[in-house]
């Protein structure tokens, strides 16, 4: 655990310090989720089920359902479709899955920016969202620690 003087010196670099577990908000979905920030993963993933391709105002979108935590009510979201990607899945011995990639807005601490997420069923995972290094690069300094505590606090609701 970092004491306040170490947190302050790291924040003086101008890069926010985050833990490996943080609350993130996806305003387009009106949902906040406890996410794992994983610099070992290149891409970001969000729990999404009942995926459906739709067109809204001539823009290809993906409609899907997600929830904040296991057992919580499902929320229907729509996000701009970007492409399909083959994602290597560590929990499946490196086998790859074809997943839709969408673009949406993510808020972490005081930072708000566009992010690409692949959608997959994360029902068996501890966290509904995994934020990979592409989304973290040049924005945050991730504190790797065994006792991950949210440094940015819970989102404003």
Q: What is the DSSP letter of 28?
A: G
How many domains, in total, are found in the chain? 1
Nearest Cα neighbor of 79 from 68, 66, 70 is 66
- Answer yes or no: is 152 within a domain: no
Q: What band does 6 get if pLDDT is binned at 50, 70 and 90?
A: low
Cα distances from 114 to residues 3, 94, 126, in angstroms, run 31, 28, 24
pLDDT score at 40: 85
**Domain around 96:** 14-143
Q: Average pLDDT for residues 120-131, to the nearest whole number?
A: 91
Distance CA 131, CA 42 (A): 9
Predicted TM-score (pTM) of the model is 0.82
The CATH number for 117's domain is 2.40.70.10
Q: What are 63-94's pLDDT values in tens digits?
A: 999 998 888 899 999 999 999 998 877 666 66
């Amino acid at each position: 655990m970092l004491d306040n003087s170490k947190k302050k010196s790291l924040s003086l670099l101008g890069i926010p310090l985050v833990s490996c577990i943080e609350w993130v908000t996806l305003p387009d979905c009106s949902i906040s989720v406890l996410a794992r920030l994983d610099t070992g993963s290149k891409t970001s993933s969000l729990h999404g089920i009942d995926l459906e391709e739709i067109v809204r105002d001539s823009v290809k979108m993906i409609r899907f359902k997600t929830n904040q935590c296991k057992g919580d009510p499902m929320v229907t979201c729509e996000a701009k479709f970007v492409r399909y990607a083959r994602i290597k899945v560590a929990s499946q011995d490196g086998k790859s899955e074809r997943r839709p990639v969408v673009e949406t807005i993510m808020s972490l601490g005081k930072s708000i920016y566009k992010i690409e997420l692949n959608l997959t069923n994360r029902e068996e995972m501890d966290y509904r969202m995994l934020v990979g290094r592409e989304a973290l690069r040049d924005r945050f300094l991730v504190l790797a620690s065994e006792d991950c505590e949210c440094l940015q606090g819970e989102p404003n609701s």
